[in-house]
Amino acid sequence: MRKRISIRLFTILAVAVAVGLATAVSPYASSSPDGLEKVAGDKAFLEQGTLHAVQEQSPVPDYAVPGVDDPRVATGLAGFAGTLGVFALGFGIATVARGGQLRAG
């Protein structure tokens, strides 16, 4: 029988894996169009896509932190910040939705 790890350690390990992937691996991910984009291009409706007005002011458009020259570093930074931000948002929503209050630890 394997000994279970604590929830705290599980959380730290899992977030570390996610942050590591988003920071170090995402800069090397395929830049080919994804399934829908490819089909949209092939079937000639890709150009119908528009950017919503609020997205013109996106802080990190296309997963690249603005002002960073190296595109891989720009993407890695976006992945790092985005993953931690999504974790914090998910944790916060879960805490509030459960009827508890945000508390440290």
Of 52, 53, 81, 77, residue with least CA distance to 65: 77
Binding status of residue 102 toward other proteins by CB under 8 A: no
**What span, in angstroms and rounded, lies between the C-alpha atoms of 17 and 48?**
37
Binding status of residue 70 toward other proteins by CB under 8 A: no
Amino acid at 4: R
Binding status of residue 101 toward other proteins by CB under 8 A: no
CB 88 to other proteins: min, Å: 7
Binding status of residue 66 toward other proteins by CB under 8 A: no
Residues of this chain, 11-50, that bind other proteins according to CB under 8 A: 11, 13-15, 17-19, 21-22, 25-26, 29-36, 38-40, 42-43, 45, 48-50
Pair 17, 73: CB distance under 8 Å: no
* Residues contributing to the site for other proteins (CB under 8 A): 1-2, 4-7, 10-11, 13-15, 17-19, 21-22, 25-26, 29-36, 38-40, 42-43, 45, 48-52, 54-55, 58-63, 75, 78-79, 82-95, 97-100
